[in-house]
Amino acid sequence: MAQTVKDHLRHALAMMLKPLVRLLISQGVTHAEFADTAKEVYVETALRHFEVKGRVNKSRVAILTGLTRKEVKNVIDRNLESGQRERTYSRPERVLTGWYSDPNYTGPYGIPLELPYETSDPGDPSFVGLVKTYSGDMAPRQMLTELLRSGSVVELGSRYKALRRNYEPAALSPELIYRLGEIGFRVFSTAARNIEKQEEGSGYFDRVVYADDGCTENVIEKFDQYIKSRGQELLEELDVWFAANAEMNTPGDKRKGTGLYMVHYVEDPDEKTSLKEILSTRGVETDNQIDK
């Protein structure tokens, strides 16, 4: 039974990795680099969830992960030498969030104010003041350029207006890549927790709706427009709920990140086929038929 579960998990892992590995290959990330990252995550997870606190027992970590003791040592040494990695949080999102939620930068009904770039009076709201408050030492002009480029902000004469509170960075920017990791972590954390749940109803909300027989491109485009509108409405409603219930948090208690992630997925069945099926469709039955 245990082996069957392991086989199912390996199949699920392969499905999850297909789109990710496609991205890695397109960006020149090799299997060796991926393997190094996987080793690090195995060691980290073993220490975090399966090893007692205190002194690190490399031998036990090796047993838990299937790595050699030398590999465990190399992973630990690399991390000790490189120091703690700094997380890259999206500063533009911080600025936009402040613009939409800070009473100093919102008008009646919580509508973001149209801001001048800077003012002679430090007490008056300005874009420079907003950036200093929510992005620390980030250069205001550079921040403004990025928000204008992304379409989150527009220029109206001598003032600037926020059009949306979400920030969409440029393709393959550090912010977008970090977001990929955050999304994957949140989705897989919920899925894993729900699989491992000990009793009925103990998992988190995890639901899906889909077209039974799929859709053609024209219907997918219509659905995309529909869900962007309705989905945004729901997310904004939930954002208001968080703000309205913020005072219910117990002072002094540890806080955990929480939220709802929504995604419109479009999948081509051909992209889910296995390596064996790909080889079969290409007429490869033995190793001798493969170019070497």
Condensed to tens digits (0 to 9), the pLDDT of residues 89-143 reads: 468 888 999 999 999 999 988 899 999 999 999 889 999 999 999 987 789 999 9
Average pLDDT, the chain: 87
How sure is the predictor about 87, in pLDDT bands with cuts at 50, 70 and 90? very low
What local confidence, expressed as pLDDT, does residue 273 receive?
Answer: 85
What local confidence, expressed as pLDDT, does residue 289 receive?
Answer: 57
Q: Are 15 and 265 in contact (CB under 8 A)?
A: no
What local confidence, expressed as pLDDT, does residue 158 receive?
Answer: 93
Nearest in space to 95 (alpha carbons), one of 141, 44, 27, 36: 141
Give the tens place of pLDDT for each residue, 259-285: 999 999 999 988 888 888 887 887 887
pTM of the predicted structure, to 2 decimals: 0.62
Q: Is the pLDDT of residue 25 over 50?
A: yes
13 phi-psi bin (left φ>0, alpha ψ -120 to 50, beta other): alpha
What is the rounded CA–CA span in Å between residue 202 and residue 231?
Answer: 26
Specify the length of the chain in residues: 292
Show Cβ contacts of residue 206 under 8 Å, excluding neighbours closer than 6 positions.
Answer: 190, 191, 194
**Section 191-211 average pLDDT:** 83
Q: Is the pLDDT of residue 291 over 80?
A: no
**Domain ranges (residues) in the chain:** 1-85, 91-162, 176-207, 210-245
In the chain the first and final C-alpha atoms are separated, in Å, by 39
DSSP 8-state assignment for residue 106: B
Exposure on the CB side of residue 82, measured as CA atoms within 13 A = 10
Between residues 59 and 90, the one the model is more confident about: 59
